[in-house]
Homo-oligomer: A and B are copies of this chain.
Amino acid sequence: SQDAAGEEDPSIEDPWQDEEYFGNYGTLRLHLEMLSDKSRTEAYRQVILNNSASLSSKRVMDLGCGTGIISLFCVQLARPSMVYAVEASSMAEYTRQLVKQNGYDEVVTVLQGRAEEIELPEQVDVLVSEWMGNCLLFEFMVESVLLARDRWLRDGGTMWPSSAALTFVPCQADSYYAEKMAFWERPYGLDFTPLQPLAQQEFFTKPKFSHIIEPCDCLAAPCDVISLDMYTLQVGDLEEMKGQFHFCVEKSAVFHGFTAWFTVCFESLEAGGATHKKNSDAPFSLQANTLEADIVH
């Protein structure tokens, strides 16, 4: 459900407003995005590398291109006929400079504007976008991707990613709980337990990002709660998403919340080619996003 994915929870960390989102992306966020998300950038690089031959003479749109790294990969690793790098924020000016600096300005056209405003001279064969946010949908950018798809992707064109899934697993977070809650029991030989409700509110009622879980923290097998087909998904579908989930709890433990991550798939451009699957926020690794539910004692 949408609530489970957290997009409408006002307590979620950093709920970027539209203006703030586009206004700040040029500075503060940018570096962090690129520096901390190397695995995501590397995944796109790999997809382009794997489809290098098939990208030849293709027209590509890179939506929400940021620095333009994906567009640059296209020209560096393949021979597309044209890449439209679309960026709404003022970052676009820097993207233009980067394209020129790398000598790619004959192939890459940078367009500053939103998906719903931009005008292209032609439709494209491939629409690539790194639209995924925390808990997959958090950045809300998927709507722009669908609008761009409906207007600018030719019939039979390719969406990258082609599909996406949000996976949940109920889990315990005993050591985190102990660290954040047990601390108040006897610091410096004093009783600080009256602050435990504050600590609980601070640390256990908001989603915790980049939480690391171990297989032994999971109380059941993970379950895909939402699956998106990027070819058939409609803007209207985004208004209310319902996902069924059913967990068979396999061990006795304190249920501290759900850990969520997502997986995206990239269809091969070659007929019959293998689909490249990317666990962008792999469980049991550094980047899992945890949605903490209320603590159950």
| Bound CA span A183–B41, Å | 15
**A45 at the B interface (CB under 8 A):** yes
Query: Do A98 and B188 touch across chains, with their CB atoms under 8 A apart?
Result: no
Number of A interface residues, CB 8 Å?
35
- CB nearest neighbor in B for A97: B194
A26 touching B94 by the CB < 8 A rule?
Answer: no
Chain B residues within 8 Å of A192, by CB: 67, 98
Contact of A28 with B by CB under 8 A = yes
A234 close to B (CB within 8 Å):
no
Given contacts A195-B94, A195-B98, A198-B94, contact A190 B31 (CB under 8 A): no
* Chain A positions 205 through 239: 1 when the CB is less than 8 Å from some CB of chain B, otherwise 0: 00000000000000000000000000000000000
CB contacts (< 8 Å) of A178 on chain B: these are none
A68 to chain B, nearest CB (A): 9
A193: nearest chain-B partner, CB-CB: B101
A180 to nearest B CB, angstroms? Answer: 8
Partner of A27, one of B69, B97, B198: B198
Q: Which positions in A face B, CB cutoff 8 Å?
A: 26-28, 30-31, 34-35, 41, 45, 67, 69, 72-73, 76, 94, 97-98, 101-102, 180, 183, 187-195, 198-199, 201-203
Nearest first, the 5 A-B pairs at minimum CB distance are: A97-B194, A101-B191, A102-B191, A72-B190, A98-B194
Q: Can you list 30 A-B pairs with a CB-CB distance of less than 8 A?
A: A26-B198, A27-B201, A27-B202, A30-B195, A30-B198, A31-B180, A31-B198, A31-B199, A31-B202, A34-B187, A35-B183, A41-B188, A67-B192, A67-B195, A69-B190, A72-B188, A72-B190, A73-B188, A76-B188, A76-B190, A94-B194, A94-B195, A94-B198, A97-B194, A98-B190, A98-B191, A98-B192, A98-B194, A101-B193, A102-B191
